[in-house]
Structure 1
Amino acid sequence: MSTFTPPVAAVAKDAHWAAKMARLRHRSLPERTLSICDDPDVKRAVTDAALALAKARTKATSAAIEQDVPEEQREQWVAAQPDVLAASSALDAAQRAQEDATITLTFRALPRPVWEQLLRAHPPTESQAEQGMEYNVETFPAALIAACHVERDVDGTVVAGMTEAEAQELLDAWPDAEAKALFTCALLVNQTLRSDLGKG
């Protein structure tokens, strides 16, 4: 009794597609962050430090040219100059201080069925629907923000995050522009296309 052996090309094709499908299944959902720093002095310090570094590099580059430092060695020479090293260190310190003073909120896109279910749970009012809105503008923003928010502890482990009530509290308490930025961040992570559709 003979045993059917599939063609080598067919086997290779199946394995190729299986590998590609495995990669497609394991794609991570996109994430987007909103960073908030309320300390103007900290932000100004970063700007000033960046300008100081740019000036130190410009001065060192001029010195390198005057001293005929070969072009291929110039970048390394400039980076090693004491004034450049000091300015670079000052910028690093200012950036660390800004990071410490910054609150970062992370939002992750929802799988399509979850997104559609959220839309169904917050349908537009009759008046809103007449204006072309696809969701209730009063209730959907807080629900979306809470659903998309991802909170991680210091070890990177996902922990409990923002509730819908907390999201609504922020939307009500923050200035209009900042409240819109909060909602927009959660909205955009669900509407930004990561793939390249190609030219056909």
Structure 2
Amino acid sequence: MSSKTRPEPPAQAVARDAHWAAKMARLRARQLPEHTLQLCDDPAVKKRLDQAKLELARLRMADAEAGREPGEETRTAEATLEEAQVAFDAVTVSLTFKALPRPVLDGLIREHPPTEEQGEDGDAWNPETFPASLVAASHIERDEAGRAVEGMCREEAQDLLDSWSAAESNALFSAAWQAQQLSRASTVDVGKG
């Protein structure tokens, strides 16, 4: 069965659930999860944002504990946080990674099998070739209208992985891998008693 051909819903299910087709359409239309890596090279801007978040959280907690509406100090902290966020966004590079459909991810892993030695070490894929391929395959950019467009190519991903420090390189791969691990489900009911 090709991925373009959708199976017909079982007749019994349609009979039991008059909304079966609508339910399946909603399930098929769900967007794949995304994960964003934010890279800020200005520690002072990052520190200012973190401090503004902590201060606002402290003031909101104090307001809540006192049972009062947010006061002037809290409103000032909100404005400070907003300014710090704008400054952070201005100097931050964001890379967004989107989950790949399971068959695509499985195929990508199969394209990069571990060497015999790597397999003996317990690797599920080749750690020399798989990370750049995953980063490239899952990275997306957005155009002015917010639509996903093609992101970096494998060579660009490999260049970043090779030229960055080990911690930053690991963060880049981890962000791409994390997108593959995110679940869109908010609750899961595994059975009825």
Q: TM-score, normalised by structure 2?
A: 0.79
Which whole-Å CA distance do the structure 2 matches of 1:57 and 1:193 have between them?
31
Which stretch has the larger CA shift, 140-149 or 172-181?
172-181
What corresponds to 1:17 in structure 2? 20
Q: Within the alignment, does 1:95 sit opposite 2:85 as a pair?
A: yes
One of 153, 156, 177 as aligned partner of 1:166: 156
The more displaced of 37-46 and 150-159 is 150-159
The one-letter code matched in structure 2 to 1:47 is D
Kindly report which structure 2 residues correspond to 1:80-91, keeping only aligned pairs within 5 A, or say none: 81=72, 83-91=73-81
Distance across 2 between alignment mates of 1:51 and 1:131: 43
Runs of at least 5 residues in structure 2 that lack an aligned partner in the other structure: 1-11
Is this contact kept in 1: 2:13–2:20, CA < 8 A? no
**What pairs up with 1:128-167 in 2 under 5 angstroms?**
128-167=118-157
Aligned to 2:33: 30
- Closer/same/farther in 2, CA of residues 53 and 123 from structure 1, 3 Å limit: closer
Equivalent position of 1:109 in the other structure: 99
* % identical aligned pairs: 52
For 1:148 and 1:124, how far apart are their aligned partners in 2?
Answer: 20
Structure 1 spans left out of the alignment, 5+ residues: 1-8, 66-70
Aligned twin of 2:189? 198
The 1:49–1:132 alpha-carbon spacing in structure 2 relative to 1, beyond 3 Å, is closer
Q: Deviations for 1:160-184, whole angstroms, at most 9, x for unmatched residues?
A: 3111011011111111111111111
Give the structure with higher Rg (CA).
1
Q: Distance in 2 between matches of 1:52 and 1:91?
A: 9
Q: 1:194 to 1:12 in 2, by over 3 A?
A: same
Q: 1:147 corresponds to which letter in structure 2? A: A
TM value normalised by structure 1: 0.77
